[in-house]
Every structure is written in C-alpha cells, then in structure tokens.
Structure 1
Amino acid sequence: IDNGRELIVKKAGFKINMVEYTADSFLKTIRNKLLWGEDRRN
C-alpha cells in the first residue's frame, strides 16, 4: 500500500467463528513434528 493511500474499513453484516491458538504452542508443535533443533546424529 502506497503512502497517501486511503483505506476504508467497515464492519461486516455477519459474524464468523474463529479458532484461536497461542503462537507458542503452535510453533512448539511444528518444531516437534519437523524435528527442528533436534540432533539426529546421536
């Protein structure tokens, strides 16, 4: 978005349900599944 560009933000006429998670637990799960930080040589 360029400087000087005007944005208009409006409230929608409907609601959606969102799933919330803490970033820490999400990143921890990804690290565990992808074995990030694990030394597999031992």
Structure 2
Amino acid sequence: MIKPGTVLYEVTGVSEEVAVKALTLAGNKLPFSTKVIAKRTTL
C-alpha cells in the first residue's frame, strides 16, 4: 500500500545501475528524504 503524499517515479529503458544513480543524484537535490526501491518482475 502506498501512503498518501508519496511520490513515485518509474524508470524504464536504462540499466538498473544508471537508473539508481540518476534517482540518487536527483534525490540529493530535493528538500526531503528519498529512497530508491527496485522491484524486479519476472515473466
């Protein structure tokens, strides 16, 4: 369940390493705490 006030970003088309680096750098510029969560799905 996602709590009210939560902001989600979905990143596709890049490697997980690049996505985590980009989100971490962006999160450092925001005035609130952030964390990167990865969900892996397999078909």
TM-score normalised according to structure 2 size: 0.34
The structure with more radius of gyration: 1
